[in-house]
Amino acid sequence: MIRLSKALDAWGTPDFQDILKQEIEQLDAGRLPLQQGLSTGSYALDNKLSVMILNVSEDAGVIHARAGIFYTGIIAGCSCADDPTPVDENAEYCEVQLDINKATAETTVSLLTE
């Protein structure tokens, strides 16, 4: 389970979005739906992760944040010595919904599709 406790502590302050952005960028990329969000590549890389907070709202017990994630992916070949496919990184982008429980900081992340 993901816990965004620093973001929860900053809720209601002017620093909330910056702290949320930093906390998401520091997550293990495997905990985010980057692989499912690929549009051109076949394998999501966990380097060069950048987050943009798009929208924030709340209800009784949950903070809802919509975020855009910029990352890189590759089109993976067979990795054979004679494989002519170059390993080029492709820019990728996906949007996610983060729901932060106000009592525990437990956070669910879901991929948003168009």
Q: What's the token pair of residue 74? A: 């590759």
State residue 46's pLDDT score: 81
Q: For residue 92, which amino acid is it? A: E
Question: Residue 77 has what pLDDT?
Answer: 66
pLDDT digits 0-9 by tens, 45-57: 888 899 999 999 9
Q: What whole-number distance in Å separates Cα of residue 101 and Cα of residue 107?
A: 6
What average pLDDT does the segment 86-114 reach? 92
Task: Decide: pTM greater than 0.85.
Answer: yes
Amino acid letter at 21?
Answer: K
pLDDT at 87 over 90: no
pLDDT, one tens digit per residue, over 71-84 is: 999 887 656 666 66
If you ran DSSP here, which 8-state letter would residue 31 be given?
A: G
The answer to whether 40 and 5 are in contact (CB under 8 A) is no
Which pLDDT tens digit goes with each residue over 16-42? 999 999 999 999 888 999 999 999 888
Phi then psi for residue 2, to 5 deg, are -85, 135
- Spatial distance between the Cα atoms of 102 and 92, rounded to a whole number of angstroms: 31
Q: In this structure, which amino acid lies at residue 25?
A: E
Cα–Cα distance between 11 and 36 in angstroms, integer?
29
**CATH code for 2-112?**
3.10.450
Tokens matching residue 96 = 């996610």
Q: What is the mean pLDDT of residues 1-15?
A: 97
Q: Supply the pLDDT for residue 64.
A: 98
